[in-house]
Copies of this chain bind each other. A is one copy, B any other.
Amino acid sequence: MTSSTLRSHTCGELNKKDTKKEIKLCGWVNSRRDHGGIIFIDLRDRYGFTQIVLDPKKLAEADKLRREWCIQITGLVRERPKGMENKNIITGEIEVEVKKLNILNESEVPPFEIDDRMEASEELRLKYRYLDLRRPVMQERLLVRHKAAQVVRQYLSSQSFMEIETPMFVKTTPGGARVFKVPSRTHTGKFYSLPESPQMYKQILMVAGCDRYFQLARCLRDEDLRVDRQPEFTQIDIEMSFIDREDIYNIIEGLLKDIFKKVLNVEIKIPFLRLSYQDTMSRYGSDKPDLRFELELKDVSSIMKNSEFGIFKNILEKKGVIYCLNAKGCGKFSRTEIEELIELGKTHHLPGLAWIKVEDKKLESSIVKYLPEKVQKELIKAVNAKENDLLLFAADEFEKAVNALGQVRLHIGKKLNLMNQKEYKFCWVTDFPLFEWNEEVNNWQAKHHIFTMPLEEDMKYLETDPSEVKGKLYDIVLNGVEIGGGSIRIHKKEIQARTLQVTGLNYEEAEKKFDFLLNAFKFSAPPHGGIAIGFDRLCALLCGINDIREVIAFPKNKAAENPMDGSPQDWTPEFLKELNLKLDVVKKN
């Protein structure tokens, strides 16, 4: 139902069946062509385009019409003359002979053309966002986002989830991202925090027995400026009780399947592949592997321990590893192309990248002379080396070696165009280490958050070797992009006390830091866990683009400003006084 007082139809629906109907349309003049004294206009609204035909001899005001003027017309639908049809649009078979023209509003000349071939600068697009959004491609993106949001809600509601709004004004707790702060006017000397995520509140909802919670949650983070960051973003926020990891996997797989089916009409296969952190790092050199192409890394340490290459031997002696990536068919890479790969390794902290080409059924490279024949044979077999392959070697500590080689893998994937843009390859990455050693404070700290449940089988290492403890953590990855992540939380005090102890906190100190959450937990928190999926990111991927600003109606620019409304704006003395605040700045000249 889109008819209204001012229109009988939209610009996106009339077709042959409507011939001879008298109809009313409203919209904007998208283009105007004058032909033999007759004016042809493509009238545009959110729903599409309709060609309307005006005779300026009968409609005095027709001649005044310019691009982007907003008009209402009454007219008769007729078939277009043979050969003049436009098969690309729904309304392409008809046109409307205008009987009455009503100019609803005139327009200044727009600063750029309302056209999907957008050439304006980003700053100009954001300043005139209302014109930028008139473009069909932008309307389509808003619609994809709208549809995705509705599918999320319908799917989760059908699974007994309740959508619950958590507060925008919260208390900040130590750790986590930096939050924005809102001075309280009525409570002088105090402030509210804006939520960086509803983490604590959704866990408290589990203590409250809400069992299955979700929210398309607005989150705000006061992070340092970066090109692809927005101070505000939206996440599909989920928490469930009486579950373990498999329950989260099932729900999210069902959810994503439903979204891709209903928004894109794409069938994705579930269940998704599940890779442990260790596994994905070893095979793809990344904790967000792009599985649209193969090219796996291979641990060749045990083979290379028999090489005579000094660097390799050195690394192995220091408990390092040697990994090989067989870049299939890249044997013809030029010296410059190989140099590029080496440089890429360097930017990812790998001092050198050794390589071997397979030419004329032989290994060719400056290091081959250090590899005894047996080593060569084993190597060829291990990485399935064939004529014209390029073998690349990273030798270093495990994480450094595979990470750099993972970047090289991605680079080659792009260079050889191995990623099918129409393919959607999901996977779960699981079993992340729970702790990492922090050099600065000379102590272990939680890699994600301190409320994450350790794997049952690793609990025994909590006191002896925290590096061995993996958590019930999971990330969901699509085509090499992490779109979300979560964990099963600790719900029992005994376990919480033990994990806190690893980071040097006793439970009583932690209670002061995380007071209201740990207080709530005293009243029998149920086993629970959850996940958050970046909704902006997901929508961008659904639209086949990378920049999340394209799927946000009014995004901020790279400096966290909105060029359209001019926010942030200057403090006035009145506003500051009202809040009992003073600016504490030394003016710079």
Q: Interface size of A by Cβ–Cβ distance < 8 Å?
A: 131
Residues from chain B with Cβ under 8 Å of A209 in the complex = 28, 44-46, 133-134, 139
- Contact status B585-A107, CB under 8 Å: no
Q: Are A527 and B153 also in contact (CB < 8 A) when A129-B208, A133-B209, A142-B162 are?
A: no
Distance A191 CA – B570 CA, assembled complex (angstroms): 6
Closest B-chain residue to A212, C-beta based? B2
- Contact status A170-B567, CB under 8 Å: yes
Residue of B160, B192, B553 touching A165 (CB-CB under 8 A) = B553
Closest B-chain residue to A106, C-beta based? B524
Q: A199 → chain B, closest Cβ, in Å?
A: 12
Q: Does A104 contact B (CB under 8 A)?
A: yes
Residues from chain B with Cβ under 8 Å of A553 in the complex = 164-167, 201, 205
- Contact status B575-A5, CB under 8 Å: no
Residues from chain B with Cβ under 8 Å of A110 in the complex = 523
Residues from chain B with Cβ under 8 Å of A192 in the complex = 180, 567-569
Q: A142 → chain B, closest Cβ, in Å?
A: 6
Chain-B contact segment, one of A282-290, A442-450, A554-562: A554-562
- Contact status A584-B585, CB under 8 Å: no
- Contact status A584-B575, CB under 8 Å: no
- Contact status B171-A194, CB under 8 Å: no
Q: A225 → chain B, closest Cβ, in Å?
A: 6
Residue of B45, B46, B218, B515 touching A168 (CB-CB under 8 A) = B218
Q: A545 → chain B, closest Cβ, in Å?
A: 18
Q: Does A146 contact B (CB under 8 A)?
A: yes
Distance A187 CA – B231 CA, assembled complex (angstroms): 13
Residue of B46, B134, B191 touching A568 (CB-CB under 8 A) = B191
Closest B-chain residue to A68, C-beta based? B524
Q: A231 → chain B, closest Cβ, in Å?
A: 6
- Contact status A243-B139, CB under 8 Å: no
Q: A400 → chain B, closest Cβ, in Å?
A: 32
Q: Are A575 and B131 also in contact (CB < 8 A) when A107-B522, A527-B104 are?
A: no
Residues from chain B with Cβ under 8 Å of A527 in the complex = 6, 104
- Contact status A523-B570, CB under 8 Å: no
Looking at A1, A143, A191, A232, which has the most chain B CB atoms within 10 Å of its CB? Answer: A191
Distance A492 CA – B72 CA, assembled complex (angstroms): 15
Residue of B134, B145, B157, B231 touching A208 (CB-CB under 8 A) = B134
- Contact status B225-A186, CB under 8 Å: yes
Q: Scan A242-278; emit 1 where CB is below 8 A from any B CB, else 0.
A: 1110110000000000000000000000000000000
Q: Does A84 contact B (CB under 8 A)?
A: no
Distance A570 CA – B182 CA, assembled complex (angstroms): 11
Q: Does A410 contact B (CB under 8 A)?
A: no
- Contact status B515-A566, CB under 8 Å: yes
Residues from chain B with Cβ under 8 Å of A417 in the complex = none
22 contacts across the A-B interface (CB closer than 8 A): A1-B160, A4-B244, A5-B243, A5-B246, A6-B242, A7-B242, A26-B241, A68-B523, A105-B524, A108-B523, A133-B210, A134-B208, A150-B163, A153-B153, A165-B553, A167-B567, A168-B218, A168-B232, A180-B182, A182-B194, A185-B222, A186-B225
Q: B-contacting residues of A (Cβ < 8 Å)?
A: 1-2, 4-7, 26, 28, 44-47, 68-70, 72, 104-108, 110, 128-134, 139, 142-143, 145-146, 149-150, 153-154, 157-160, 162-172, 178, 180-194, 200-201, 204-205, 207-212, 218, 220, 222, 224-225, 231-232, 234, 240-244, 246-247, 491-492, 515-516, 520, 522-527, 552-554, 556, 559-562, 564-571, 575-577, 579-585
Q: Which 7 pairs between the two chains have the least Cβ-Cβ distance?
A: A133-B208, A107-B524, A190-B568, A70-B524, A171-B565, A105-B524, A171-B567
